Amino acid sequence: MTQTIAELRLALDTGGLTSQALVEQMLINSNDPAGEGRLVFRKTYAAAAMAQAVAFDNCRRSGMPPAHLGPLAGIPISVKDLFDIAGEVTGAGSAVLADNPPAASDAPAIARLRRAGAILIGRTNMTEWAYGAVGANGHFGTPRCAWDRAVDDGAGRIPGGSTSGGAISVTDGMAAAAIGSDTGGSVRIPAALNGLAGFKPTARRVPLAGAYPLSQLDSVGPLANSVGDCVLLDRLMAGGDGAAMLPAHSLRGLRLGLARNHLQEGMDPEVALPFERALSRLSAAGAQLIEFNWSELDSYASINAKGGFSAAECFARHQQLLEARSAEIDPWIVARVLAGAKQTAADYIELLAARRDWIARSETRFAQFDVLIAPTVPVIAPRLKPIMDDVSTLGEYFKANSTVLRNCQFINFLDGCGLTLPIHDTGHAPAGLMIAGTAMSDQRVLAIGLAVEAHLRGA
């Protein structure tokens, strides 16, 4: 299933496809015993999804004008297991939250998609508490990357996290798009490692209410088959009606910032080659490539040396569970969260101040160009088996986690927004191009992303 939401909507409105047939096929894909469905979904909504699909089909057959239907009318969407759905316990990929009370209402972002006509097809698996970029879950299994699943005696490669199930639900035709969260790359990383587009908005633009929190760096965003799909879903979740179009953005004269330090170091050849090729094509189209030294990155590690916001805030939220039931929590999560126990109130206050200063200095530096571009993830998806086999020292896990997390995390700390779009050749390891900007530059980032995607696909 590689059709975009726009393509599916056109087929539905013109009678070339029914929502019932679309939902049926996605449920078949999710139930395929040879597929990843049992690892992708924590729960599917087969009966409800089919009933809604039939209702939308009846509306269309009755002659209801397409303009009177919501922009997502009859389109199946998956949602990450950390979003509240009325009447259900929000699991957040964890076994220790099963006794929590059910949600009283849908998370606002999800409610907005439902009002736009989206059909919820299932809740997707994720890293426990959304705390990890590998995508591994020791309780409910780990779906494998859409590329190269046959290696390592069937273990395959990591899907990227923490929105692991969401990414594979889209690549494997189990949903037309997925909604996830991004605290340090949890939308963009799985999107990039699986050949999808993904968008992390400025955090304040999309409501975080009803999304199980990790830290103040959280944001809510989509994973989909095109930048256009991300634009639509982001606009709806941010409270828009999905009807307005972004203004066209020219590549000629576009100023693209290239931070060669940190962001472009240690790239796998399978990432470096398509990245440099994309730069060449954008330059040939008239874009200006402006190399600069993002010197603030030199201090990022020391600012966050005691675990940063995620460790402190996740520990504060889960301290009692960690004390009473740590054996029931994934060991790589426990190891990361416990770093938060060592932070003092003074450490946390200093971190808040250091971030404010870091953002101010970075924003001044970013003023010289329109957007930053970089590899979304500097490496191809690491192999899963060595990571899962090393549960005693967790060395392989932390190595993979820090590597795939490296580039994306800076945009969250910046309070910025970031888009990833695929740049690899068909049949090759997925690689993503990240287009990012400062806070509330979302519309510019997305408009440029649409132009870049159109040019690279047509090149």
Active-site residue set: 80, 162, 186
Distance CA 343, CA 184 (A): 20
| 119-124 vs 177-181, strand pairing mode | unpaired
Q: What is the dihedral of CA 77, 78, 80, 83, to 10 degrees?
A: 50
> Under DSSP, is residue 394 helix (H, G, I), strand (E, B) or coil?
coil
Q: Which two tokens stand for residue 448?
A: 């440029």
Distance CA 368, CA 372 (A): 10
The backbone torsions φ and ψ at residue 422, rounded to the nearest 5 degrees and listed phi first, read -75, 145
Q: In what order do the strands lie in the sheet with 220-224?
A: 41-44, 119-124, 76-80, 177-181, 220-224, 197-200, 417-422, 432-437, 371-375, 255-259, 288-292
Q: What is the dihedral of CA 233, 219, 251, 246, to 10 degrees?
A: 40
Q: Which string of DSSP letters, residue by residue, matches 240-280?
A: --S---PPP--STT-EEEEE-TTTTSS--HHHHHHHHHHHH
Distance CA 23, CA 54 (A): 10
The backbone torsions φ and ψ at residue 332, rounded to the nearest 5 degrees and listed phi first, read -70, -25
Name residue, tokens 């944001």: 219
Distance CA 297, CA 295 (A): 5
3-state secondary structure 188-222: HHHHHHCCCEEEECCHHHCCCCCECCCCCCCCEEE
Distance CA 194, CA 371 (A): 24
Measure Cα distances from 385 to 21, 153, 156, 381 in Å.
Answer: 37, 8, 7, 12
Residues whose CB falls within 8 Å of the CB of residue 133, separated by 6 or more in sequence, listed in order = 127, 160, 161, 162, 184, 185, 186, 189, 401, 404, 405, 408
